[in-house]
Amino acid sequence: MNRNKLEQLSTSLQSIAGISEVIADVGEITAVVSPDNLIEVATALRDQHHFEQLIDLCAVDYSQFGATEWETGGSGFSRGVEAGSVGRLSFGDEVPEYDNDQPRFAVAYQLLSLKNNCRLRLKVYAVDNEFPVVPSVCDIWSCANWPEREAFDLMGVHFDGHPDLRRLLTDYGFVGHPFRKDFPLVGNVEMRYDPQKKRVIYEPVTIEPRVLVPRVIRNTTRREATDDSAVEKGES
C-alpha cells in the first residue's frame, strides 16, 4: 500500500468509536480494539469501510515476549544453556505462573478490502489471562468459524457466540493447548502399540528436549535506516 492510502485509512479509522489505538508500521496498519467493542467495530469495518474479507485469524500468547536464553549485554557472554524457552521444557517440568498484569492472549484479525484494495489488522487483547474470552465474529464473516476453532484448539482462547467450538487440529481426546508458550515443544505424551494389551497406549514422552541455537535478542536498527514505506515507527 502506498503512503497516501495508509494515511487515508488511518485517519478514517479514527472516526470509528471503539478503536483504542492505531499503529502504523512496515506499511501496515494495526487497530487495537477491546473485546467489548469488537463486534461493533468489525461490523462497521465490513459495512462502511468495505473490509469484505477476513483473511486470517491468529491467536498470540505473549507470556514469553522478550524472554531470552543468552545475555549479550555487559561484559562477555553467557553460555546460553540455561532453560528459558519452550524448546527446553519437558514432561512434568514446573512452568512459572504468568503473573504479569499485561494481557497474555491476543487475537489478530487480518482484514482485506477488495473495493479499496487495502489491508488492516485488528487486534484484540483478551481481558482474563486464566480464561481468555473474545467475542466470535462468525456472524460478520462466516469464514471465521474454522480459524476460531483452531485458535481455541491450539491456544485455548474461547470465542463467545461461536456456533460449534470444538477442537479442530489436535487428536481426539487431546489434553492441553499446544501452541501456548508453557506447552513443551516435545509434547506431554507419546503413543505406541502395546502388543500385550493389543491396543494403542499413551505414555509420558521419552524424547529429550534440546535447543541447538539459544534464543537471543539483539538491538538492531536496520529497518529504521532503510524502510521508507512505514509511516511511523510502531510501539510494539
Partner 1 sequence: MPEIRNYTLNFGPQHPAAHGVLRLVLEMDGEVVDRADPHVGLLHRGTEKLAESKPYNQTIGYMDRLDYVSMMCNEHGYVMAIEKLLGIEVPERAQYIRVMFDEITRLLNHLMWIGAHGLDVGAMSMFLYAFREREDLMDCYEAVSGARLHATYYRPGGVARDLPDSMPQYEASRFRSKADAGKLNEARSGSMLDFLEDFTDRFPGCVDEYETLLTDNRIWKQRLVGIGVVSPERALQLGFTGAMLRGSGIEWDLRKKQPYEVYDRMEFDIPVGTEGDCYDRYLVRMEEMRQSNRIIKQCIKWLRNNRGPVLTEDHKIAPPRRAEMKGDMESLIHHFKLFTEGFCLPAGEAYASIEHPKGEFGCFLVSDGANKPYRLKVRAPGFYHLAALDEMVQGHMLSDVVAVIGTQDIVFGEIDR
**Interface residue list for partner 1 (CB under 8 A):** 1, 25-28, 30, 52-56, 58, 60-61, 64-66, 68, 85-87, 108, 110, 114, 117, 119, 121, 141-143, 145-147, 168-171, 178-179, 185, 211, 213, 215-227, 234, 236
Comparison of 17 and 212: residue with beta carbon closer to partner 1: 212
Nearer to partner 1, 5 or 127 (CB): 5
**Minimal distance in Å, beta carbon 117 to partner 1?**
6
CB 182 within 8 A of CB 155: no
Question: Cell numbers at residue 59, please?
Answer: 491467536
For residues 111 and 33, is the Cβ–Cβ distance under 8 A? no
Closest listed residue to residue 134, CA positions, set 15, 2, 36, 221: 36
| Pairwise CA distance, residues 168 & 171, whole Å | 8
Minimum CB separation from partner 1 for residue 11, in Å? 21
Of 15 and 205, which CB lies nearer to partner 1 in the complex structure?
Answer: 205
Cβ-Cβ contacts under 8 Å for 189 (sequence gap 6 or more):
91, 202, 203, 204, 205
In 190-200, which positions are buried (b, 16+ CB within 10 angstroms) versus exposed (e)? eeeeeeeeeee
Least distance from partner 1 to the Cβ atom of residue 145, Å: 6
- Looking at beta carbons only, is 153 or 158 nearer to partner 1? 153
Query: Rg of the chain over CA atoms, in angstroms?
Result: 21
- Cβ at position 106, least distance to partner 1 in Å: 9
CB contact set of 108 (below 8 Å; sequence gap of 6+): 30, 57, 58, 59, 60, 121, 122, 123, 124
Closest approach, Cβ 223 to partner 1, in A, equals: 4
- CB nearer to partner 1: give 129 or 145: 145
- Least Å distance between CB 87 and partner 1? 4
The nearer residue to partner 1, 58 or 133, going by C-beta atoms, is 58
The H or E element spanning position 158 is strand 158-160
